[in-house]
Amino acid sequence: MSSKPGAGERARTDGEAPTDKKTDVRLESDGGAKRLIDLPDYRRDVLLALAHSGPANGHRIMDVLGALRGDDITDGGFYPNLNALVDAGLVEKRENEHDKRSHEYALSERGQETIREHAQRIAGALEAIDGGAR
C-alpha cells in the first residue's frame, strides 16, 4: 500500500502497515481494537507544536511548528495535516468564542497519549545509546 506523502512528510518505508485512508494514520489491530502506532514526522510535529503552544489557532500552531522544524510552514501543507489529526481524534477543533470565523485547536486525550508514547520510545532509545546510564 503506498500513498504519496503530504507536504513536509517523508515517504513511508513500511508498506506492510495498514492505513486508514481518511486520515493516513497507520493502525495496528490489538485484539479487534485499533490503536495508533505511529504518525508521519510532519503530523507528529504538529502534535508537538500543539503541546508547546497549548490551545491555539492555526496560525499560532504554524508559527510554533515552523520554529520546531526550522522550516517555513504553508497553509496548503499544514491544514490538510491538521484536519487529518482532527479526523483521527488526536486534536480537538473548537469554534473560537470571540471570532466565529476562526477555530481553536487543542490536543485531545488521545493526542496527549500519543506524545507520551513517542517520548517513551525516545527515552528508551536514549537509554540504549547511553548503555543504561540514565
Q: What is the rounded distance in angstroms from the CA atom of residue 77 to the CA atom of residue 35?
A: 25
Strand order across the 33-38 sheet: 19-20, 25-30, 33-38
Q: Which amino acid is at 73?
A: I
The C-alpha cell that represents 132 in the structure block: 543504561
| CB neighbours of residue 99 within 10 Å | 10
List Cβ<8 Å contacts ≥24 apart for 89-92: 90/36, 90/47, 90/114, 91/46, 91/47, 91/50
3-class secondary-structure state, position 116: helix
Q: What's this model's pTM, rounded to 2 decimal places?
A: 0.70
Q: What is the rounded distance in angstroms from the CA atom of residue 122 to the CA atom of residue 44?
A: 13
| CB neighbours of residue 87 within 10 Å | 15
What digits encode the pLDDT tens for the residues 109-125? Answer: 999 999 999 999 899 99
> In the beta sheet, which residues pair with residue 105?
56, 93
Thinking of the domain 41-129, which architecture would CATH place it in? Orthogonal Bundle (1.10)
Per-residue pLDDT at 90 exceeds 90: yes
What digits encode the pLDDT tens for the residues 79-88? Answer: 999 999 999 9
